[in-house]
Amino acid sequence: MEVYRADEPKPLYRVLDEEGSPVGPVPDLAEDRLVGMYRGMVLARTFDERALNLQRQGRIGTYAPFSGQEAAQIGSFAVLEKDDWVFPSYRELAGLIYHGLPMERALLYSMGHPDGAKVPEDSRMFPVQIVIASQLLHAVGAGWACRLKGERSVAVSYFGDGATSEGDFHEALNLASVFSVPVVFFCQNNGWAISVPVSHQMRSATVAQRAVAYGIEGIRVDGNDVLAVYEGMLRAVDRARAGEGPTLVEAVTYRLGPHTTADDPTRYRDEEELKRWREQRDPIVRFRKFLEKRGIWSEEQERTEWERARRMVDEAVVRAESYPKADPSFAFEHVYALMTPDLSNQRDEWRARASRREGMQ
């Protein structure tokens, strides 16, 4: 009797080793595409570090850092087209910015401004989703609509390893499988669901092999190898466009910072583990070494690029902090398409109190 064992890991696909040397076929990408992906990673790291500092200074609210996961995001978003639907969680700002989200909008979101949830009108990116795993079902719906309308667009849902413990994850994969929906489920497995390690979340050896239960393809890539992520995502997207159904992609990566700025990872994470990932597996360092070995990147370009990224982020901070303040009435008026009497009364009561406060000043 042949028995399938869930504790047998699915192989990890890699293109580059930690020193940036190829260990597999390198994607056929033009030099400007490779350099553009690297610049996107540099900008993302610069933005993330600045946003973390802004939160510590009290200039933005709670923030979810993504440093360490730039390759997983840039490598996957590099495959997408403008007509594809993107359903992110709260840790995909690197990819969203690379895909066209203005950095000031990302900052406005953490400032509590309603315009922080607005995306460019020419894009199909959805706003940040805080509710764990619900965006997977939204992606299935969008992908299903694309198929029914005869469009070649695909839908992509981004989520973390913790989301795979939610019922919505399983319902989304099952529905997408049954109706052969053109959707890609992209899991950034960064090892921790806040303070809960992956080993305490599931008995399966990998997230990718969970695809077997739903009769779909599962791909597991080194999430700190931007070229491996690109190749895995390209296969998944091509399958979806060709009508071959959904794919579950697991990008094995690591978050260098806290879960959010409200978290203290030193209480549950080993310092040696963090040091190992930071010093030996940084996705930006790995890709830079690859570009240098190819002769398309230099120390001067490196210095110039980080300076350029800092200027861009500084300018975005200025735009965000000088943005017109929002009318608090928005909180009452945008709960339902039509305001309920209770909400209308609450809004009027708030306005009356605000008016009295202004009169006392």
pLDDT one-digit tens code per residue, 116-130: 999 998 899 999 999
Q: What is the pTM of this model?
A: 0.93
Is 113 catalytic? The answer is no
By C-alpha distance, which of 288, 319, 293 is closest to 45?
288
Neighbours of 270 (CB within 10 A): 10
- pLDDT above 90 covers what percent of the chain? 89
Residue 142 confidence (pLDDT): 98
- Of 162-176, 189-203, 280-294, the poorest mean pLDDT is in 189-203
Instruction: Average the pLDDT over 336-359 and give the result.
Output: 89
Q: Which of 268, 276, 294, 353 is catalytic?
A: 268
pLDDT at 2: 53
Q: Spot the catalytic one: 105, 255, 281, 288.
A: 255
Residue whose tokens read 């599931």: 202
Burial label for 340, CB within 10 Å (0-12, 13-18, 19+), is: exposed
- What mean pLDDT is predicted for residues 36-62? 97
Note the pLDDT of residue 361.
Answer: 67
Confidence band of 277 (pLDDT split at 50, 70, 90): very high
C-alpha distances in angstroms, 176 versus 38, 75, 170, 208, 298?
Answer: 33, 24, 10, 16, 45
Q: Which CATH superfamily is domain 31-326 in?
A: Thiamin diphosphate (ThDP)-binding fold, Pyr/PP domains (3.40.50.970)
**Catalytic position from the list 259, 281, 286, 288:** 259
Is residue 323's pLDDT more than 80? yes
Cα angle value 40/44/46 (rounded, 5°): 120
pLDDT of residue 358: 75
How far is 111 from 105, CA to CA, in rounded Å?
10
Which of left, alpha, beta for 282 (phi over 0: left; psi -120 to 50: alpha)? beta
The whole-number average pLDDT for the span 207-226 is: 96
Tokens found for residue 307: 């300076």
Q: Which of 105, 39, 94, 106 is nearest to 67 (CA)?
A: 94
Average pLDDT of the segment spanning 339-355: 91
Residues 6+ apart with CB under 8 A from 113: 323, 326
Do 283 and 222 contact (CB within 8 A), yes or no? no
- Which residue(s) pair with 314 in the sheet? none
Q: How far apart are CA 111 and CA 320, in angstroms?
A: 9
In this prediction, residues 3-10 reach a mean pLDDT of 64
**Spatial distance between the Cα atoms of 321 and 314, rounded to a whole number of angstroms:** 11
Tell me: the pLDDT tens digits for 137-174? 999 999 999 999 999 999 999 999 999 999 999 999 99
pLDDT at 65: 97
> pLDDT tier at 225 (50, 70, 90 boundaries)?
very high
For the cut 90, the answer to whether the pLDDT of residue 356 exceeds it is no
Distance CA 331, CA 344 (A): 11
Residue entry with tokens 């995502």: 233
Q: What is the mean pLDDT of the chain?
A: 94
Cβ–Cβ under 8 Å, residues 87 and 139: yes
CB neighbours of residue 260 within 10 Å: 14
DSSP string, 318-349: HHHHTSPPPPTTHHHHTSSSS--HHHHHHHHH
Query: Helix, strand or coil for residue 168?
Result: helix
Q: Is the pLDDT confidence value at 4 over 80?
A: no
DSSP assignment of 70-137: HHHHHHHHTT--TTSEEE--SS-HHHHHHTT--HHHHHHHHTT-GGGG---TT--BPPP--STTHHHH
pLDDT tens readout for residues 23-33: 999 999 999 99
- What single DSSP character describes residue 294? T
In this predicted model, what pLDDT tens digit does every residue of 65-119 receive, in sequence order? Answer: 999 999 999 999 999 999 999 999 999 999 999 999 999 999 999 999 999 999 9
CB distance 78 to 102 below 8 Å:
no
Cβ count near 56 (within 10 Å)? 11
- Tell whether the model's pLDDT for residue 6 goes beyond 70: no
CA distances from 175 to 24, 125, 182, 250 (A): 34, 22, 11, 19
Domain ranges of the chain: 31-326, 327-361
213 φ/ψ sector (left φ>0, alpha ψ -120 to 50, else beta): alpha
